[in-house]
Structure 1
């Protein structure tokens, strides 16, 4: 007796005849799926998303609306971690992301949150790798061949340039800029520019902050916080009360305090 296939594909979706769609897939309105793409069971794809040719998507995975996924991307594959034993961990991707050729995003592990999370409005260039249990925010750019190991937190508006690699359990702070070819082995504070092997700080990402609407008084406060951290000769324990006082007038300084409170690897120096 032939098994009935359970598919939830919106009538406006356009699926190429050569694409392989497994049971238990949910595909929203105006989604397009290109030739020779494979979509495994327990995958949900939101309205307006474009999945091009030769893409592999495995579940459990949820992909939001209006994403563009380019050829040879592998989304939601099981993670590259020896402790993974086939558990039903997940990948969740937001909206309006551009996922270029050969990008890899892996599901989480039960030893952590059990889910890898990717936000919205991000650009992931060719061959970007996002490993298990990462939390990637919104409006992030990752250049060609940029790589995240497992358990990494990348905060909003961060830029990780081409050929850079980030060590597991690190945080890449909001609005920071990592120069090309960098090796990041400790946390990068928010707003900071860093580069090198191992990556070292070399100032504040002022131009990026200006483009995002930061006003002069706030920029001056962020510069002052940077000087307290890197040029005062104080320990982080001595710097933290100064920053906490600054937060009263400039809430953006709170991102420094939050990172210091949550850091497990220490910050780049």
Structure 2
């Protein structure tokens, strides 16, 4: 046998050895790796819980805007309005802790010149505007109409909004969560029964953010027992407390 033939035979033998060694190693690794079972079948359902309740607190956003030639004059006029407002609310039983200044601004008022003739002149300050915004919590809803009237009488000329809420909703939200869990379980049992399987163990439970919805107009109830016949009529309505709960169960398909 020639030298070239010997080298060729040796190369083929080495390649065969490498392939054989690779196959043996692959078999050994496969034998060592544990068998991965199929992923557990699960079902996830979101339940909803809703509860309606009468609000027991009102939040009023109001303010006064005053204008004058100087900032001092505008601020003094605004200060008088807010002082009268605080006094009127306190006389009605609104506590100091329930009145909070939410925004106070002092801004110049500009006059802009007509530049159509090509003349460029900077704007001129010809006065000042002071805005004072107030947030008031009224805990006695029977006086809410009078409180709004008192704000206007004191000189408030901006009404940013009126909203109602349940002041301590924790117990009500607990009931809504129970209703949400019951709703999720009812849905899950219906779905698994239709599919011919049954619910297994609970894997996870998560709750989405609970929140209060604005009063429903169709359920509005006029605030009564107002002492003043001229008080602003206000409908308190009902507050809707809503929460959702998502639950994941294992599915027992009877195969085990």
TM bracket (short chain): under 0.3
Larger Cα-atom Rg: 2
Higher helix share: 2
TM-score, normalising length: structure 2: 0.20
TM-score, normalising length: structure 1: 0.19
State the structure with bigger RCO (CA 8 A, min sep 6), 1 or 2: 2
Higher strand share: 2
